[in-house]
Amino acid sequence: MDAYNARNKSRWDAQKNQEYLRMRFGTPPNSTVYWWDDAWWCDGEYLCGD
């Protein structure tokens, strides 16, 4: 049961993290914001370096 909870917690955390990043960058709901090559991107579109 703990393994199940741990796996779902990481997925839940990732979902919350995406919600936070979408708010931070003002990207559309259901878009994917990610860090790549020392910059933030949203679905292939450059957002900003950090």
**pLDDT tens digits, residue range 15-49?**
999 999 999 999 999 999 999 999 999 999 999 88
State the virtual CA torsion across 34, 22, 31, 44 in degrees, nearest 10: -40
How big is the chain by its Cα radius of gyration, in Å? 13
pLDDT exceeds cutoff 70 at 7: yes
Higher per-residue pLDDT: 7 or 24: 24
Confidence class for position 1, pLDDT limits 50, 70, 90? low
Chain-centroid distance of CA 50 in Å reads: 15
- Every domain of the chain and the residues it spans: 2-49
